[in-house]
């Protein structure tokens, strides 16, 4: 189970040994692009398993080859929304666990003058607001893009939003808690700080570059 962080009431950190082993390997500068992609998907799958404890289910009667029993099926639509581009690197790991999930996409870039996130792409399933939405981005740095993405989802009627990342900085967690106090954040680790360039320290570098081999 992810553990609620003592300093941030909305943040839940995964202390599971498998998650911690894989995030340590992903951080390693010697890890190749193919290994990095695999690790991100594996971590995403492990985290999703725990986050999905909150999904609604319905009771049903199931006929087995030798009898009848009671069972439970998922009873709400589930939508994954990666923030482009790095969020894509975690999506396959989640879909491996939840093949019935739909996938929306959010594209944001930072305006160089205002430093504010600007939406350039958004595509969602029409009934997304009827179920849980998992907003995905490997890094929670300043929190600007994540907060803008949550705003976007809320404008489309979404209420049950969960944010999933691999590495979070305190600055990003504070921004989300301020802008969206009811949002639950799940992260594999909480790191020390942001440096002067806005990178998480110690972090794992630029997740998008490491996923797609564009370093």
pLDDT at 115: 61
DSSP state of 129: G
Contacts of 127 (CB under 8 A, 6+ apart): 77
Whether 110 is catalytic is: yes
- Token duo for residue 50: 């725990």
- Residue holding tokens 């921004």? 175
Annotated catalytic residue, options 110, 160, 174, 179 = 110
* Beta-carbon count within 10 A of 91 CB: 20
Annotated catalytic residue, options 38, 174, 179, 209 = 209
pLDDT at 1: 63
The predicted-structure confidence for 73-126, as pLDDT tens digits, reads as follows 999 889 999 999 889 999 999 999 999 999 999 998 777 677 678 889 999 999
The predicted-structure confidence for 116-156, as pLDDT tens digits, reads as follows 788 899 999 999 999 999 999 999 999 999 999 999 999 99
The predicted-structure confidence for 29-67, as pLDDT tens digits, reads as follows 999 999 999 999 999 999 999 899 888 999 999 999 999
pLDDT at 215: 66
Domains of the chain: 3-57+72-212 (3.40.50.2020)
Euclidean distance between CA atoms 132 and 73, whole angstroms = 15
The predicted-structure confidence for 163-197, as pLDDT tens digits, reads as follows 999 999 999 999 999 999 999 999 999 999 999 88
Whether 69 is catalytic is: no
pLDDT at 198: 83
Q: Is the pLDDT of residue 6 over 90?
A: no
pTM of the model: 0.91
Annotated catalytic residue, options 64, 111, 114, 155 = 114
Contacts of 191 (CB under 8 A, 6+ apart): 167, 168, 169, 200, 201, 202, 203
């Amino acid at each position: 189970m992810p553990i609620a962080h003592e300093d941030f009431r909305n943040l839940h950190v995964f202390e599971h040994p498998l998650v911690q082993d894989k995030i340590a390997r992903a951080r390693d500068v010697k890890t190749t692009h193919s290994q990095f992609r695999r690790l991100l998907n594996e971590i995403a799958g492990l985290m999703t398993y725990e986050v999905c404890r909150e999904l609604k289910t319905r009771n049903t009667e199931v006929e087995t080859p030798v009898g009848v029993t009671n069972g439970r099926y998922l009873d709400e639509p589930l939508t994954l929304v990666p923030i482009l581009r790095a969020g894509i690197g975690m999506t396959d790991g989640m879909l491996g666990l939840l093949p019935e999930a739909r996938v929306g996409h959010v594209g944001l870039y930072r305006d160089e003058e205002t430093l504010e996130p600007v939406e350039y792409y958004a595509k969602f399933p029409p009934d997304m607001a009827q179920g849980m939405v998992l907003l995905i981005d490997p890094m929670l740095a300043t929190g600007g893009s994540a907060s803008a993405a949550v705003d976007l989802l809320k404008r489309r009627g979404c209420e049950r939003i969960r944010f999933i990342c691999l590495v979070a900085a305190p600055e990003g967690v504070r921004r989300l808690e301020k802008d969206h106090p009811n949002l639950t954040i799940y992260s594999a680790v909480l790191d020390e700080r942001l440096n002067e360039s806005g990178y998480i320290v110690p972090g794992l570098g630029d997740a998008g570059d490491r996923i797609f081999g564009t370093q």
